[in-house]
Chain A
Amino acid sequence: MSDPADLTIVEAAAALRSEDLTAVELLAAVRRRAAMTEANIHAYLTIDVEGAEASARAADDAFAGGEDRGPLQGIPIALKDNMVTRGLETTASSQILAGWHPPYDATVVTRLRDAGAVIVGKTNLDEFAMGSSTENSAYGTSRNPWDPERVPGGSSGGSAAAVAVGSALAALGSDTGGSVRQPASLCGVVGMKPTYGLVSRYGLIAFASSLDQIGPITRSVADALAVLQGISGHDPEDATSYRGELPDFGSQIDRGVEGLKIGVVSELSGEGTEPAVAAEFRTMLQRLEGAGAEIKELSLPSTAYALSAYYLIAPAECSANLARFDGVRFGLRLDGGTVEEMMGATRAAGFGPEVIRRILLGTYALSAGYYDAFYGQAQKVRTLVIDDFKQAYEQADVLVTPTSPTTAFKVGERTDDPLAMYLSDLCTIPSNLSGDPGISVPTGVDDAGLPIGFQVLAPALAEPLMFRVAQAVEDLAGFDARPTLASSEGAA
């Protein structure tokens, strides 16, 4: 048997049930992989040694006692460090939360525990999920397992890197503008953003509440489905949580794409896309067509403005969401003669530059005299983006784009140019504005051997259709390359 750390959830679940593998062994394999790779990759901020071992033993006990809580039982899963875990340090990669041990668990954490999953630890991210490279982490940049000179993408870069390298079988990320899909694409793994409201945000440290959604990062489409099934569903603690009946997410997964209309968004796959990415994208389109899908070129004119709208809406919401970090009840406090000075000093010292930039931007966009021109107008553009998607879905069943216009870029390459960094999310942001689901599936590599992701977008609650196309893409791509660092030779 190969190293259990390289198994998919589906494979591991079978091995755990056939008694070829125990949860404790699986955790040990993942732990070994982390020990081999962390020095190079730095995917984790915190590893929960004792908690994970206890969970793994409990999972084995459950198996031994005939108790089976589903495919996640005994599976080592990592959490992006913006999901709160009771008693386990949670920082959102910010100095302002250094040493914070939350007194409660996020709903997704509770769901994972209830499903018998083993929470390995907390992964690195751009501070408060603001960024596309993890370079905005206060605790160091994570590295891309395919080339440690390069970023893993972000903001869920630690989660994507951990899954790619095998220091977790799956991870949760949060996606506000592409923060699950873009790092998944850059790390050669699957990343999925569910329909807004399908997964509870309770206990997710908010960046932009109307855009944030937790999603799985996995090594296969089927694994993403398994994790989504484990974490989704109505949560009374989240007023924006979807209350209707959930679709059967996997109901169409084996049906292939024959007869489906697949729309190509011209604004999101044209100029500006790196040639290798564009070529890989076109190759997959041909394969899809060969598998019986109808490919249609579609225009979503308002998506050209989506990035601008996003960079007003997200900072506006974050300027309020991050106001609670004030040195009064938890986290960092700097001295000040008055409470106002204390707060000002704490926040200026505790937040990194990108966070400060966005707080300032959002504060300005909401302030008297500017609201209508900036925030108000951005919300109208959001309406137009939603309308464009609706029209597009009248002509096509799903929409496809490259996940990211480029493959992984070098550490430091974009840090001085916030706008260039923001462009990493050009193709992913529109579906955050619309609230629709999207998934990135790895299909190949560029000349430098860096992975390229293919994005499938679907209408709200059309996850069954999205998984169906994503599974076909995965099958057609036959992508099975692994980063060299994922093997023991690579992790010198």
Chain B
Amino acid sequence: MTWEVVIGIETHVELRTESKMFCGCPVGFGAEPNTAVCPVCLGLPGALPVPNEKAIEWTMRLGLALDCDVTQQSLFHRKNYFYADMPKNYQISQFDFPLCVGGHLDVTTSDGDRRIGITRVHLEEDTGKSTHLGEGGRIGSSGGALVDFNRAGIPLMEVVSEPDIRTPEEARVYAQELRAVVLALGVSDARLEEGSMRFDANISLRSEGATELGVKVEVKNMNSLRSLQRALSHEIERQTKILDEGGAIAQETRHWDEEAGRTEAGRSKEEASDYRYFSEPDLVPLVVTDEVVAGLRSELPELPAQTGARFEAAGVDSIAARVLVGGSLGSLFDEAVVAGAAAPEVAKWLTGEVTAHLNREGADPPALSLDGAALAELIAMVEAGDLSSTAAKQVLEGVLTGEGQPRQVAEARDLIQIRDEEALAEAVAAVVAAHPEEMGRIADGDGKLIGFLVGQVMKATGGKADPRRVSELIRESS
């Protein structure tokens, strides 16, 4: 039996507003526990929520960026369940009238282009954080737990995809693309490792061609794009094995164990949740006019897909364009092009050496000591014949490690190419004279040996010769 994989992803994104969703407490990391709290976010008796208009606006921006419709009249609801780090024991969320509905996000995987439907984008509040004490894994067997409510009430957007995703790779690319959109909008720092962007996946298998969905498993606790893909691959294997053996999938929540490389069943609950949603009586409806929506739409920044298309139009190939956008290298690219460098050349450097450096260092583009002007200067030096491509890489390394601007580094490291024709001719002549046999074979048409001789010249000049010119001179000598 062939099984079709059906995946939907719920993404939570903490908004980086100044203040919390329903009160004026500051949003941020690293404060001492329970210092960014007030009666509202502590759920004290008598306290009332008042929504943060910026959070509402930002959620609509994301919805518009995902081509959603903004709901003209949306509502907040109470989602009721008890949990020790949720102050009111209900979460103010949205239910049947979310802020944004019915959009999509286009992604490109190794299998080609796919359009993933977005069911809804809504706004809610985050919970506090509990730390479990005692030994025995994630859940302390004794000793209890410590609760910090600084995070409670931070605005949280939830983006729900349609079950349109078919492979773990597609899931990863979707998540990556969504993150790029969030970053482009500047509404969140979207850090997976810090939990300001979190993914839960619903995954089910069904026999090929079936229209009904299979039994759904919710997978949680994936805190990187890589673990999202790995967890789903593992879950597909696990479910396929059960189904192939004639077994049944249990509807449950499973947690990804990064170290063990597998998903583990959560403790099964006695009964399914019953959240008893009802409209939040402490709040009034949100009404959004067409003018407001039009205004927000016109203020949207360039989105990753548009940026990618623009790069392609500038002559960058599609894979490189995606790497530039996905790696947040777009502004560096634009700066270098504005400084006069050719787009394909800029893309080549950014997706090659610069990306390799970022990966090695685990750094973010904004932290680089390379700016667009410097990259343009480097490229210009190569084109002018001042630097060989090998030397240019060394110069870039120098720039990235803070040694200075490209020309300074090249001079300091003595990497400027010999452009004195006479000196170059002498060096070539010396090599030609030392290799009569090879010159003979070149004359007989064995072109491959030219490269060998060029290498000898480069060695003799300490890498400072222009290999193209050396190659020409060798041909002229044969």
Tell whether A and B belong to one assembly.
Answer: yes
Name A's B-contacting residues (CB within 8 A).
Answer: 82-84, 90, 92, 97, 100, 102-104, 106, 201-206, 208-210, 236-240, 316-317, 319-320, 323-326, 328-330, 339-340, 343, 363, 366-368, 371, 375
9 pairs of A and B residues whose beta carbons are closest in the complex = A323-B89, A366-B276, A209-B281, A210-B281, A203-B46, A205-B45, A324-B43, A84-B46, A339-B84
- Does B147 sit at the interface, judged by CB under 8 A? yes
Min CB gap B149→A, angstroms: 8
- Does B274 sit at the interface, judged by CB under 8 A? yes
Q: Which residues of chain A have C-beta atoms less than 8 A from B46's C-beta?
A: 82-84, 102, 104, 106, 202-206
Q: Which residues of chain B have C-beta atoms less than 8 A from A317's C-beta?
A: 278, 281
Q: A320-B80, A324-B43, A329-B44 are in contact. List 13 more A-B contacts (CB 8 A).
A: A104-B39, A210-B281, A239-B48, A240-B282, A319-B276, A320-B276, A323-B82, A324-B45, A329-B149, A339-B84, A340-B82, A343-B82, A366-B278
Number of interface residues of B (CB under 8 A): 31
Complex Cα distance, B87 from A172, in Å, reads 28
Main secondary structure of the interface of B (DSSP, over half): loop
Complex Cα distance, B50 from A238, in Å, reads 7
Min CB gap B131→A, angstroms: 13
Q: Which residues of chain A have C-beta atoms less than 8 A from B39's C-beta?
A: 102-104
Find residues 133-192 in chain B having any chain A CB closer than 8 Å to their own CB: 144-145, 147, 149
- Does B78 sit at the interface, judged by CB under 8 A? yes
Q: Decide yes or no: A201 and B48 within 8 Å by CB, A343-B82, A366-B276 being known contacts.
A: yes
Complex Cα distance, B43 from A339, in Å, reads 18
Complex Cα distance, B61 from A119, in Å, reads 48
Min CB gap B275→A, angstroms: 9
Complex Cα distance, B185 from A343, in Å, reads 42
Main secondary structure of the interface of A (DSSP, over half): loop
Find residues 86-107 in chain B having any chain A CB closer than 8 Å to their own CB: 87-90
- Does B287 sit at the interface, judged by CB under 8 A? no
Complex Cα distance, B278 from A366, in Å, reads 8
On whether the beta carbons of A368 and B274 are closer than 8 Å, the reply is yes
Find residues 185-233 in chain B having any chain A CB closer than 8 Å to their own CB: none
Complex Cα distance, B50 from A316, in Å, reads 21
Q: Decide yes or no: A320 and B44 within 8 Å by CB, A104-B39, A339-B145 being known contacts.
A: no
On whether the beta carbons of A326 and B82 are closer than 8 Å, the reply is yes
On whether the beta carbons of B43 and A240 are closer than 8 Å, the reply is no
Closest to A331 in B: B45
On whether the beta carbons of A367 and B274 are closer than 8 Å, the reply is yes
Q: Which residues of chain A have C-beta atoms less than 8 A from B432's C-beta?
A: none
Could you jot down 29 A-B contacts, CB within 8 Å?
Answer: A84-B44, A84-B45, A84-B46, A90-B45, A92-B45, A100-B45, A102-B44, A102-B45, A103-B44, A104-B44, A202-B46, A237-B48, A239-B49, A239-B50, A239-B282, A239-B284, A240-B283, A320-B78, A320-B88, A323-B82, A324-B45, A324-B87, A324-B89, A329-B44, A329-B149, A339-B84, A343-B82, A363-B276, A375-B278
Q: Which residues of chain B have C-beta atoms less than 8 A from A328's C-beta?
A: 84, 147
Q: Which residues of chain B have C-beta atoms less than 8 A from A104's C-beta?
A: 39, 44, 46-47
Q: Which residues of chain A have C-beta atoms less than 8 A from B327's C-beta?
A: none
Q: What does the 1/0 interface line of B399-425 toward A look like (CB < 8 Å)?
A: 000000000000000000000000000
Q: Which residues of chain A have C-beta atoms less than 8 A from B5's C-beta?
A: none
Q: Which residues of chain B have C-beta atoms less than 8 A from A201's C-beta?
A: 48
On whether the beta carbons of A366 and B43 are closer than 8 Å, the reply is no
Min CB gap B52→A, angstroms: 11
Find residues 259-299 in chain B having any chain A CB closer than 8 Å to their own CB: 274, 276-278, 281-284
On whether the beta carbons of B50 and A236 are closer than 8 Å, the reply is yes
Find residues 67-95 in chain B having any chain A CB closer than 8 Å to their own CB: 78, 80, 82, 84, 87-90
Complex Cα distance, B78 from A459, in Å, reads 30
Q: Which residues of chain A have C-beta atoms less than 8 A from B78's C-beta?
A: 320
On whether the beta carbons of A209 and B282 are closer than 8 Å, the reply is yes
Complex Cα distance, B45 from A90, in Å, reads 10
Complex Cα distance, B88 from A106, in Å, reads 18
Min CB gap B22→A, angstroms: 9
Q: Which residues of chain B have C-beta atoms less than 8 A from A375's C-beta?
A: 278
Min CB gap B79→A, angstroms: 10
For A329, give its contact among B42, B48, B51, B90 (CB under 8 Å).
Answer: B42
On whether the beta carbons of B50 and A326 are closer than 8 Å, the reply is no
Complex Cα distance, B45 from A205, in Å, reads 5
Q: Decide yes or no: A326 and B274 within 8 Å by CB, A202-B46, A237-B48, A339-B84 being known contacts.
A: no
Find residues 392-450 in chain B having any chain A CB closer than 8 Å to their own CB: none
Q: Which residues of chain B have C-beta atoms less than 8 A from A330's C-beta?
A: 44-45
Which one of B89, B274, B278 has the greatest number of beta carbons of chain A within 10 Å?
Answer: B278
Complex Cα distance, B145 from A319, in Å, reads 26
On whether the beta carbons of A324 and B82 are closer than 8 Å, the reply is no
Closest to B23 in A: A237
Min CB gap A290→B, angstroms: 43
Complex Cα distance, B278 from A328, in Å, reads 24
Closest to B282 in A: A209
Which one of A240, A320, A343 has the greatest number of beta carbons of chain B within 10 Å?
Answer: A320
Q: What does the 1/0 interface line of B295-325 toward A look like (CB < 8 Å)?
A: 0000000000000000000000000000000
For A316, give its contact among B43, B84, B278, B282 (CB under 8 Å).
Answer: B278
Closest to A330 in B: B44
Q: Which residues of chain B have C-beta atoms less than 8 A from A236's C-beta?
A: 50
Which one of B39, B42, B89, B276 has the greatest number of beta carbons of chain A within 10 Å?
Answer: B276
Complex Cα distance, B47 from A56, in Å, reads 28
Q: Which residues of chain B have C-beta atoms less than 8 A from A240's C-beta?
A: 48, 281-284
On whether the beta carbons of A326 and B84 are closer than 8 Å, the reply is yes
Q: Which residues of chain B have C-beta atoms less than 8 A from A367's C-beta?
A: 274, 276
Complex Cα distance, B80 from A209, in Å, reads 16
On whether the beta carbons of A329 and B274 are closer than 8 Å, the reply is no
On whether the beta carbons of B278 and A329 are closer than 8 Å, the reply is no
Min CB gap A342→B, angstroms: 9
Q: What does the 1/0 interface line of B16-56 toward A look like (CB < 8 Å)?
A: 00000000000000000000000100111111111100000
Which one of A92, A209, A236 has the greatest number of beta carbons of chain B within 10 Å?
Answer: A209
Min CB gap A466→B, angstroms: 24
Closest to A106 in B: B46
Complex Cα distance, B78 from A317, in Å, reads 10
Find residues 324-348 in chain B having any chain A CB closer than 8 Å to their own CB: none
Q: Which residues of chain B have C-beta atoms less than 8 A from A205's C-beta?
A: 45-46
Q: Which residues of chain A have C-beta atoms less than 8 A from B282's C-beta?
A: 206, 209, 239-240
Q: Which residues of chain B have C-beta atoms less than 8 A from A102's C-beta?
A: 39, 44-46
Q: Which residues of chain A have C-beta atoms less than 8 A from B43's C-beta?
A: 324, 329
Q: Which residues of chain B have C-beta atoms less than 8 A from A323's C-beta?
A: 80, 82, 88-90
On whether the beta carbons of B51 and A366 are closer than 8 Å, the reply is no
Q: Which residues of chain A have C-beta atoms less than 8 A from B84's C-beta?
A: 326, 328, 339, 343
Min CB gap A409→B, angstroms: 30
On whether the beta carbons of A238 and B48 are closer than 8 Å, the reply is yes
Complex Cα distance, B46 from A90, in Å, reads 11
Complex Cα distance, B84 from A209, in Å, reads 23
On whether the beta carbons of A237 and B50 are closer than 8 Å, the reply is yes
Min CB gap A130→B, angstroms: 14
Min CB gap A240→B, angstroms: 6
Complex Cα distance, B80 from A102, in Å, reads 25
Complex Cα distance, B78 from A366, in Å, reads 11
Find residues 104-144 in chain B having any chain A CB closer than 8 Å to their own CB: 144
Complex Cα distance, B144 from A371, in Å, reads 36
Q: Which residues of chain B have C-beta atoms less than 8 A from A329's C-beta?
A: 42-44, 87, 149
Q: Decide yes or no: A202 and B47 within 8 Å by CB, A320-B80, A324-B89, A326-B82 being known contacts.
A: yes
Q: Which residues of chain A have C-beta atoms less than 8 A from B278's C-beta?
A: 316-317, 320, 366, 371, 375
Complex Cα distance, B45 from A204, in Å, reads 8
On whether the beta carbons of B45 and A97 are closer than 8 Å, the reply is yes
Complex Cα distance, B147 from A82, in Å, reads 27
Closest to A236 in B: B50
Closest to A96 in B: B45
Complex Cα distance, B93 from A320, in Å, reads 14
Min CB gap B91→A, angstroms: 11
Complex Cα distance, B277 from A237, in Å, reads 24
On whether the beta carbons of B45 and A366 are closer than 8 Å, the reply is no
Min CB gap A332→B, angstroms: 13
